[in-house]
């Protein structure tokens, strides 16, 4: 059955009803396919997000690249395809600022410069990174048609909570006009077990849920999300990894790295 197109005003009202704070900082992870159809398409959804935040609000979307072998250029490098269509369209809009490094974000609003000017950290979600600035600004995290498995904020929680795994990763930067490969270790894995956050946040009454467009949406304060995750990691630093023998190669690689740290 074909779904009706929802107006920009209707979607903005859904966002307000969910609890998006006017004048706040909002980090959005989204699947437009789950949300559509919306008046104006993906750009209409971006407009609805900005309408809900108001002129004093700051909208943030991930803007990292999926290409580790090409130096990042914030003026031309596409956002990773895995992030969906909204991030790729968003960073190209007038007035939107973008980080100058591969692990960054794009943002518009009064706090945008503060967020995107945060430097590259290794791992990319470490304290001092753009994601940690969003956390410090008491931003909200909106998961729109996606689950916690897409939440970058939880990688900050892993580092703050002492998760010990680091898997080999690299990026490429220009030095004296020549591409140079930089190797580092990242707290990375399949992220499927981030979905455990649903039950923990619901039990604590910290997660708002409801429809936005045609998609299920989750909204949580970044500080609540990180605090709950860090508390859980204190008792089991590997709780976000699949158990050994579960058949997850990414989590197995992360587990194997623990002995190398």
Phi, psi for 69 (deg, rounded to 5): -105, 0
Cα–Cα distance between 13 and 40 in angstroms, integer?
16
Query: Does the residue 3 lie in any domain?
Result: no
Question: Per the domain annotation, does 2 fall within a domain?
Answer: no
Q: Determine, yes or no, domain membership for 1.
A: no
- What is the spatial distance between Cα 110 and Cα 71, in angstroms, rounded to a whole number? 29
Backbone phi and psi for residue 47, each to the nearest 5 degrees, phi listed first? -65, -40
Helix (H) or strand (E) holding 172: strand 167-175
pLDDT value at position 260?
A: 52
The per-residue pLDDT for 261 is 45
- pTM, full prediction: 0.97
Domain that holds residue 172: 8-260
Q: Closest Cα to residue 210, out of 13, 53, 6, 61? A: 13
- Average pLDDT by consecutive 10-residue portion of the chain (261 residues)? 94 98 98 98 98 98 95 96 96 98 96 97 97 98 98 98 97 94 97 98 98 98 98 97 96 89 45
**Is residue 53 domain-resident?**
yes
Q: What is the pLDDT of residues 155-166, one digit of tens each?
A: 999 999 999 999
CB 34 within 8 A of CB 215: yes
Query: Based on the structure, what is the number of domains in the chain?
Result: 1
DSSP label at 78?
P
SS3 category, 180? strand
Determine the angle formed by the axes of helices 153-160 and 222-235, rounding to 10 degrees. Answer: 40
């Amino acid at each position: 059955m074909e779904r009706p197109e929802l107006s920009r005003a209707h979607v903005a009202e859904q966002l307000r009803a969910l609890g998006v704070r006017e004048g706040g900082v909002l980090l959005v992870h989204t699947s437009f396919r789950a949300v559509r159809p919306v008046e104006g398409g993906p750009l209409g959804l971006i407009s609805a997000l900005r309408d809900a935040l108001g002129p004093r609000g700051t909208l943030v979307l991930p803007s990292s690249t999926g290409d580790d072998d090409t130096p990042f250029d914030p003026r031309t490098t596409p956002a990773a395809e895995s992030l969906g269509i909204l991030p790729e369209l968003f960073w190209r809009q007038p007035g939107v600022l973008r980080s100058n490094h591969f692990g960054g974000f794009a943002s518009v609003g009064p706090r945008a410069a503060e967020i995107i000017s945060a430097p590259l950290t290794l791992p990319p979600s470490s304290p001092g990174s753009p994601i940690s600035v969003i956390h410090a600004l008491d931003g909200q995290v909106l998961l729109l048609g996606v689950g916690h498995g897409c939440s970058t904020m939880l990688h900050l929680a892993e580092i703050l909570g002492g998760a010990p795994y680091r898997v080999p990763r690299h990026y490429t930067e220009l030095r004296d006009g020549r591409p140079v490969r930089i190797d580092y270790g990242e707290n990375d894995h399949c992220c499927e077990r981030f979905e455990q956050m649903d039950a923990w946040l619901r039990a604590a009454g910290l997660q708002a849920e409801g429809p936005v467009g045609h998609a299920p949406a989750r909204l949580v304060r970044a500080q609540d999300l990180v605090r709950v995750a860090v508390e859980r990691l204190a008792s089991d630093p590997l709780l976000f990894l699949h158990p050994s023998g579960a058949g997850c190669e990414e989590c197995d690689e992360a587990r194997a790295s623990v002995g190398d740290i």
